[in-house]
C-alpha cells in the first residue's frame, strides 16, 4: 500500500470516527431532552398519575418517535441527514426515500400508540374507549406502512428484518419468561399487561440493534 493510499485510508477512518461521535452526541442530546421534557410533563400532573410501568412505556414510545423524527428530518434534508444517519451520501437517502419514509411513519405511529396506552385511563387523561380506538388506528397505519417499506427492501434488509424478528422472540422469552418465572415462584411482582407491551416495543429495537451489530452494519459510512 502506497503512502497516498495510507493517507486516504487514515482520512476516511477519521471522517467515519467524527461522524460516529457526532451522531452519538446528537442522539444523546435529543434523547435526553425528550426524556427530560416527558418526565417534567409527567411530574406536572398533566398526563395524570403515572406509575413506573406507564412512565417506562411512555419513554419507550418516545424513543420510537424521536428515531422516526431523525429519519424523517434526514429525508427532508438529505444533505444534513447524511451527516448523522448511517448512509454514504445524500443520494442514498434520496434513493431510499420510499422505504425509509414508510419505515419512519410506521415507527412514529407505533411509538405514539404506546404512549397513548401509557396515559390512558384510569391513571391518565385519555378514556379507555378513546385510547383503544386511537391505538387500533395507529397500529393499522404502522402495519400498512411497515409492509409498504418491506416491499421496497432489498434481500439484505429483508434478511436483517427476519433475523431481528427471531432475535426479538428469543429476547422476549429470556426477559419476559424469566420475569414471569420469578413472579410465579413468588420472588418478585409479576409483569403488568402494559409491561408486556412495553417489552414488545423495546425488545424489537434491541433485537434489531443486536442483529445489525453482528452483521457489522453499525459502522458509520
Handedness of CA 76, 90, 71, 136 (dihedral sign): positive
User: Quick check: 168 pLDDT over 60?
Assistant: yes
Grid coordinates representing 176? 419476559
Element holding 75 (H helix, E strand): helix 52-76
pTM for the full predicted model: 0.88
Q: State the pLDDT at residue 37.
A: 82
Instruction: Judge whether 41 and 54 are in contact, CB under 8 Å.
Output: no
Which tens digit of pLDDT belongs to each residue from 35-80?
Answer: 788 888 877 778 888 899 999 999 999 999 999 998 998 899 888 8
Distance CA 103, CA 100 (A): 5
Which tens digit of pLDDT belongs to each residue from 77-100?
Answer: 888 877 878 778 788 888 888 899
| Bridge partners, 126 (sequence order) | 120
Which tens digit of pLDDT belongs to each residue from 198-214?
Answer: 999 999 999 998 998 88
User: Quick check: 176 pLDDT over 80?
Assistant: yes
User: Quick check: 9 pLDDT over 70?
Assistant: no
User: In a 3-state reduction of DSSP, which class is residue 147?
Assistant: helix
User: Quick check: 1 pLDDT over 60?
Assistant: no
Which tens digit of pLDDT belongs to each residue from 93-133?
Answer: 888 888 999 999 999 999 999 999 999 999 889 999 999 99
Q: State the pLDDT at residue 8.
A: 60
Amino acid at each position: 500500500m502506497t503512502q497516498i493510499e495510507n493517507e486516504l485510508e487514515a482520512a476516511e477512518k477519521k471522517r467515519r470516527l467524527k461522524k460516529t461521535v457526532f451522531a452519538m452526541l446528537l442522539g444523546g442530546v435529543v434523547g435526553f431532552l425528550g426524556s427530560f421534557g416527558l418526565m417534567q410533563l409527567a411530574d406536572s400532573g398533566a398526563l395524570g398519575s403515572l406509575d413506573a410501568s406507564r412512565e417506562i412505556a411512555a419513554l419507550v414510545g418516545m424513543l420510537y418517535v424521536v428515531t422516526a423524527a431523525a429519519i424523517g428530518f434526514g429525508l427532508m434534508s438529505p444533505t444534513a441527514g447524511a451527516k448523522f444517519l448511517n448512509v454514504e451520501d445524500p443520494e442514498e437517502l434520496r434513493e431510499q426515500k420510499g422505504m425509509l419514509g414508510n419505515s419512519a411513519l410506521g415507527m412514529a405511529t407505533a411509538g405514539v400508540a404506546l404512549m397513548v396506552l401509557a396515559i390512558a385511563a384510569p391513571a391518565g387523561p385519555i378514556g379507555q374507549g378513546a385510547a383503544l380506538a386511537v391505538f387500533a388506528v395507529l397500529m393499522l397505519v404502522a402495519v400498512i406502512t411497515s409492509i409498504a417499506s418491506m416491499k421496497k427492501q432489498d434481500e439484505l434488509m429483508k434478511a436483517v428484518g427476519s433475523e431481528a424478528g427471531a432475535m426479538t422472540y428469543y429476547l422476549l422469552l429470556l426477559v419476559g419468561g424469566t420475569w414471569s418465572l420469578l413472579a410465579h415462584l413468588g420472588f418478585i411482582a409479576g409483569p403488568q399487561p402494559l409491561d408486556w407491551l412495553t417489552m414488545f416495543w423495546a425488545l424489537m429495537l434491541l433485537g434489531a440493534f443486536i442483529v445489525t451489530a453482528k452483521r457489522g452494519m453499525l459502522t458509520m459510512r
